[in-house]
Structure 1
Amino acid sequence: MAERQPPLGAGRNAGLEVPPAQRANPLWAAAWMMGALTSFALMAIAAREISKELDTFQLMFYRSIIGIVIVVAIGALLPGGMAQFKTGRFRMHAVRNAAHFVGQFCWFLSISLISLAEVFAIEFTTPIWVAMVAPIFLAEKMNRYRAMAIAGGFLGVLIVLRPGVTEFGAGHIAMLIGSFAFSLSMITTKKLSATESPLCILFWMAVLQAPMGLIGSVSDFTLPGLESGLWLVIVGICGLTAHYCIAQAFRWADATLVAPMDFVRLPLIAVVGMLLYGEALDPFVFLGGAVILTGNWISIRFARQS
């Protein structure tokens, strides 16, 4: 269950509040970020392998079922039990998960169509979209730093995609749509987090997205084989561990320090793609990703100073 949370600069933070670190220890922050980066890489590999047998709707359905089992098991062990999943904001959960389902669907679909490095580089634009829509939905002010982040983000996208020079296909379009959908998911997550616990948000994500995946799967429903089943479990587990590690990293260092660490995800997944799938290392992907990261980092630094 690859839940997308608000925190990372090359990942997820432009236009959102940046919680201060409880204590400063960059080494611990880096260690937790390596756990997050490893989880994201494993999730991408698992999605690529699953796509050989199951379509994206089926992947999303099984991922949600596994997510329900994991979240309910965790909830049962915590004080309050199932009562912590009660909500009075079902409509907001529904809006959030419609957006998140689109984003996650596009992410999984893109992994099966384009290189892993391209997927991750384009995904870095999510906080750029957040910076654009936050003034509309959260009444946050647009300032020159956010404008610089937005401009840098789109310049980075142009460097990565190079329209008219390289092939611009369905996978690239899907990931751009997915990044925008993730931004809407983050905005609604911010609204929900005022009253709902993270575990409650995760529970309703899995419960609401399971039928969405099932509806898209009914025409060609397939039971996963043993190998795909194991990869599905990895997707479910890594979606939780990735964001748990991110949350822990922010306990040990400020966002301005943690955000650049997320950029390591791009060369890491590029090497994984090269070793496992023979994908070429494209210097323009790295350059564009660096430009996007710089824009996000400027926005985060301004948020911390404010």
Structure 2
Amino acid sequence: MQQALLWMTGTICSFALMAIAGRELSGTINTFQVLFVRSLLGLFVISLIILSLNKAQYFKTSQIKTHLLRNSFHFLGQYGWFVGLGLLPLSQVFAIEFTVPFWTAIIASVVLKDHLSASKMIAIVIAFAGVLFIVKPASDHFESATLIVLLAAFCYSCAHTGTKVLSKHNNTLTILFYMCLIQLPIGAVLMIPYWTVPSMVEWGWIFIVAITALTAHFCMTKAMLTTTVTTVVTLDFMRLPLIALLGFAFYQEPFGAVSILGTALIFVAMLINIKSSR
């Protein structure tokens, strides 16, 4: 448990740093440029790991079309998430992001014919009730940017479904390698009209995004190996109050009682979903 707590601390801190860096870059460096550098550094690191393991076969795949489809959705998800960081309170972006498992359950039931049990359906209903409390669509203060983040969560879910298909015949490093390889030229082409030369401070934030993207997933993977999925997901949810605290401390972002209620509903739904999956 102590090891899991240590690894999940790394995960939570990585995601929090990535969000802060994304907020700091918002409005100064275009998101496509950030995603390009992120893919470039990721491709370099993943390639070094594969070569150091002497596993050249990890560079090969027989499912290139699935990789292309999966990473198209993943790129859109990343773009929407980073755009949301500049438009919405950080805690709201993270809360909406936690709906990804429920979108994934719905998509997998349609595309992969996965069984959608009654308890999973209840969890989905509770989760989206929580989202309604957070985004408050009927409110005068409703932000259309929440739709961008919700769409990003949906795209992430499509990418997760693609990962499930690919994981049957591809090593995790292969999936990560093609993720960076495919998204690199997409980011390169889309950033051309918006390219600006970052300042030293901006380069620092860009590299924080690129590095924390790797450390977050690495730490979470290590945590998965040391404890149960329930423990990992429960600990991972702790990044929501952390980012709410950071948002309040650095950007004076409010997080009211209604949003707390919505977050609690999503957390309950996650626990029901985990129990159903087990």
Instruction: Name the residue aligned to 1:235.
Output: 209
Q: State TM-score, norm by structure 2.
A: 0.95
Is the contact made by 1:113 and 1:171 (CA closer than 8 Å) also made in structure 2? yes
Residue in structure 2 matched with residue 6 of structure 1 by the alignment: none
Task: Write the letter of the residue equivalent to 1:204.
Answer: Y
| Alpha carbons of structure 1 residues 123 and 166: separation in structure 2 relative to 1, 3 Å | farther
Instruction: Tell me the distance in 1 between the aligned counterparts of 2:42 and 2:244.
Output: 28
> TM-score of the superposition, structure 1-length normalised?
0.87
Aligned equivalent of 1:145: 119
| Paired letter, 1:109 | V
The aligned residue for residue 230 of structure 2 is: 256
Residues in 2 aligned to 1:166 and 1:199: alpha-carbon distance in whole angstroms? 46
**Partner-residue secondary structure (3-state), 1:242:** helix
TM-fit CA distance, 1:263: 1.6
Preserved CA contact (<8 Å) 1:121 1:285: no
1-side partners of 2:90 and 2:163: how far apart?
26
Contact 1:124 1:289 in 2 (8 A): no
Q: Deviations over 1:71-110 (max 9, x none)?
A: 2222222222x44211111101000000101100000000
Q: Within 5 Å, give how 1:185-204 maps onto structure 2.
A: 185-204=159-178
List aligned pairs for 1:1-306, cutoff 5 A: 26-80=1-55, 82-304=56-278
Question: C-alpha offsets along residues 185-232 of structure 1, whole Å, 9 cap, x if unaligned?
Answer: 000001111111111111111111112112222222223222121212
SS at match of 1:87: coil
Distance in 2 (CA, whole Å) between partners of 1:236 and 1:60 is: 8
Q: Is the 8 A contact 2:129 2:265 kept in 1?
A: yes
Q: Structure 1: how far apart are the matches of 2:23 and 2:247? A: 10
* Native 8 Å contact 2:31 2:83 kept in 1: yes
Contact persistence 1:113–1:170 (CA under 8 A): no
Mean Cα deviation higher: 48-57 or 185-194: 48-57
Q: Deviation at 1:166?
A: 4.6
- CA separation in 2, counterparts of 1:75 and 1:197? 11
Q: Distance in 1 between matches of 2:239 and 2:126?
A: 19
Name the CA distance, whole Å, in 2 between partners of 1:201 and 1:227.
32
Report the residue type matching 1:77 in the other structure.
S
Q: Find the aligned partners of 1:72 and 1:248 in 2 and give their Cα distance.
A: 20
User: 2:190, 2:147 → 1: CA distance?
Assistant: 20
Contact 1:110 1:175 in 2 (8 A): yes
Would you say the 8 A contact 2:30–2:194 is kept in 1? no
Residue identity matched to 2:95: A
Name the counterpart of 1:3: none
Residues 1:251 and 1:83: Cα distance change in structure 2 (over 3 Å) = closer
Contact preservation (8 Å) 2:74, 2:159: yes
RMSD: 1.4
**Distance of 1:166 and 1:248 partners within structure 2:** 44
Contact 2:14 2:215 in 1 (8 A): yes
How far apart, in 2, do the equivalents of 1:285 and 1:209 lie? 34
Measured after TM superposition, the shift of residue 40 of structure 1 is: 0.4
Q: Once the 2 structures are TM-superposed, how far is the Cα of residue 180 of structure 1 from its aligned partner?
A: 0.4
Give unpaired runs (5+ residues) of structure 2.
none
AA partner of residue 38 (structure 2):
R
Mapped contact 2:33–2:188 kept (Cα < 8 A): yes
- How far apart in 1 are the matches of 2:214 and 2:53? 16
Letter in 2 for 1:69: F
- The amino acid across from 1:42 in the alignment is L
Q: Matched residues in 2 for 1:56 and 1:271: separation?
A: 25
**Letter of the 1:170 counterpart:** S
What are the Cα deviations for residues 128-174 of structure 1, in whole angstroms up to 9, with x where unaligned? 10111111122111111111111011100111011222522232111
- Note if contact 1:123-1:179 (Cα within 8 Å) is conserved in structure 2: yes
List gaps (5 residues or longer) in structure 1.
1-25
